[in-house]
Structure 1
Amino acid sequence: MFPFKMALNASTLFPFHLDVRQQVQIAAEAGYEGIELWMRDIEKYLADGGNLQDLKRYGDDLGIAIVNAISFFTWADAEATARKQGLVQAEKEMHLLAQLGCPAIAAPPFGNVEHVTLDDMAACFAQLVEIGHSTGVEPYLEFWGRARQLSTLSDALSVALQSGLPDVKILLDPYHMYTGGSAVNNLAYLKGRNIGIVHANDYPAVPDRATIQDKDRVFPGDGIAPAAEIARLLDQAGYHEYLSLELFIADFGDQTALDVAKLGLSKSKQAFSVEESRTSG
């Protein structure tokens, strides 16, 4: 049983150099229900004369929801000016996403965060969420396994708790859990309402944890990630929203973008399936 919805992160299609409309089209043709777009692609679309209302309508017509956006802004930078600029950028991008009907934006620990305490980061995140409330777009707190700060699920839980906010949503990613050393069973501490979106990916045993890079990610089920256990814990937590296929493979050989998208959908559903006899959370 597959108790989730599937989205396609546009990063998976980067080798094909598609514009956002083409990305949305491929996701729809392959059978996905949603898509995660990258702000840089949205901004290029606008610079080339595109219209956000047209893009929203195009997605609606194809039955594809724009479920989240990937961006990089310095919301928790140690330097006050950079932090302020990051919040300005975030607000601008959130206003654009609101016009697309996109409900969320990723908030990873981008910038100079090495000496920022988790308590200070929590205060910064509360500011970011306040901006989100004013725009109607919610930041998803994302941890990066190789970040100098906010590198584990435990860190993210601490930031969420210390923020004083009742409903922080965390972006989960098996690759970042692996590289940062987050224990998979820590997912048991989450409730579905506190999970924003889950990236679907896998990683091989070689290169090892210390040297593996984003480009080494593989399709779900092709590596050593405990995908079935992750799926079981998500299901028990009551999370039945989107898994989003996020790969950074540089070359897919002679496969087309549609081939890759269809393969990723099939492999994700197989790897993250849950046994019928699961225990409800």
Structure 2
Amino acid sequence: MRLDQIAINSQCTAHRNLEEALDAYAAAGFRNVEPHLNLIRDWLQDGHTVGETRALFDSRGLRVVAGSQLEIVCFGSPDARLPNLKANVENARLIHELGGEVMIVGTDGPEQSSPEALGAVAYAVRELAETAEDTGIEIAIEFNWSPLVRSLRSAVRVAEMADHPRVGVLFDTAHYHVTPTKLSDIRPDSVRWIKHVHINDMPDIPADLTHRDFDRVLPGEGVLDLPEIISALETSGYEGYFSIELFNAELWHLAAEEAARCCYQSLLPLCEQR
């Protein structure tokens, strides 16, 4: 993992305004940011334009690499799904206008889970990619942000079924830990679908008793063999960003700059492994 591949997800410093967050990320050493779109939309609702927002990133030497906010509604009538489709297209357009390349999405699920239900997810994701064609945004399905798509294998299956060049998968080390996903699943035929990576560590608690979000800890403070996972991704062909994403109450109680600095420093040993 190279230094220019690391990024920070704004969830790491929750409850901050955009300007404060960007000042903190730049001061910590980050150059790549993955903002949650709630943070961006709050800023826009305060009277700022998208152009001014992008200039805010540029002025601090930062670039948007990805963003997220919504799940895709895949089940139900077309009329019921239409507002969600429109909202996701608007999000794709916003990420594009900010200079980003990837939109991360979750999905809903059916009343009864089955392998066949993955087809409805593939259809909905492809529909989104086609409707947002003009943005050029990559759509990355986050496994385990879904009651149905719960592993790397199932997310890859959806991407294969969608069969669209801009539909792929988000790989998150926390979800890797708490789902049936195995190290042996990280291989060239699956990694070719990975559009973006979230990186974090997990505590020494049985995986089935670990919360996928709120038990996350800084890289190096948990039990995951992150160098091994990163090596598996890279040797299988992954060349994209590694964005730290934490929902950690201890970090949230720190000043934004201190929280961002902790995140940045935790990633440096992983960059030195290369």
TM-score in terms of structure 2 length: 0.89
Amino acid of the structure 2 residue aligned with 1:65: R
Amino acid of the structure 1 residue aligned with 2:62: I
> Aligned pairs, how many?
270
Q: Say which SS state the counterpart of residue 8 (structure 2) adopts.
A: strand
The answer on whether the counterparts of 1:75 and 1:125 sit within 8 Å (CA) in structure 2 is no
Q: Write the deviation string for residues 109-131 of structure 1: whole angstroms up to 9, x where unpaired.
A: 2x344546112211111111112
Amino acid of the structure 2 residue aligned with 1:36: E
Amino acid of the structure 2 residue aligned with 1:135: T
Give the aligned partner of residue 245 of structure 2. Answer: 246
Give the aligned partner of residue 278 of structure 1. Answer: none
Q: Map residues 168-207 of structure 1 onto 2, 5 A cutoff.
A: 168-190=167-189, 194-206=193-205
Inter-CA distance 3–24: structure 2 relative to 1 (3 Å threshold) = closer
Listed as ranges, the gaps of 5+ residues in structure 2 are none
Q: Write the deviation string for residues 63-82 of structure 1: whole angstroms up to 9, x where unpaired.
A: 21111111113332345444
Q: Aligned equivalents of 2:87 and 2:253: distance in 1?
A: 38
Amino acid of the structure 2 residue aligned with 1:34: N
Q: Map residues 1-281 of structure 1 onto 2, 5 A cutoff.
A: 2=2, 5-14=5-14, 17-109=15-107, 111-115=108-112, 117-144=117-144, 147-166=146-165, 168-190=167-189, 194-206=193-205, 208-213=206-211, 214-252=213-251, 255-271=254-270, 273-275=272-274
Q: Aligned equivalents of 1:184 and 1:273: distance in 2?
A: 22
Identity of aligned residues (%): 25
Q: Say which SS state the counterpart of residue 216 (structure 1) adopts.
A: coil
Amino acid of the structure 1 residue aligned with 2:268: K
Q: Write the deviation string for residues 89-143 of structure 1: whole angstroms up to 9, x where unpaired.
A: 111222222221222211112x344546112211111111112312332211211
Q: Aligned equivalents of 1:143 and 1:273: distance in 2?
A: 28
The answer on whether the counterparts of 1:10 and 1:38 sit within 8 Å (CA) in structure 2 is yes
Give the aligned partner of residue 279 of structure 1. Answer: none
Range with greater deviation from structure 2 (172-181 or 19-28) = 19-28
* Deviation of 1:189 (Å): 3.1
The answer on whether the counterparts of 1:167 and 1:194 sit within 8 Å (CA) in structure 2 is no
Inter-CA distance 88–194: structure 2 relative to 1 (3 Å threshold) = same
Amino acid of the structure 2 residue aligned with 1:158: R
Q: Say which SS state the counterpart of residue 132 (structure 2) adopts.
A: helix
Q: Aligned equivalents of 2:262 and 2:140: distance in 1?
A: 27
The answer on whether the counterparts of 1:3 and 1:240 sit within 8 Å (CA) in structure 2 is no
Q: Write the deviation string for residues 238-272 of structure 1: whole angstroms up to 9, x where unpaired.
A: 32321111000113387432222122112123146
TM-score in terms of structure 1 length: 0.87
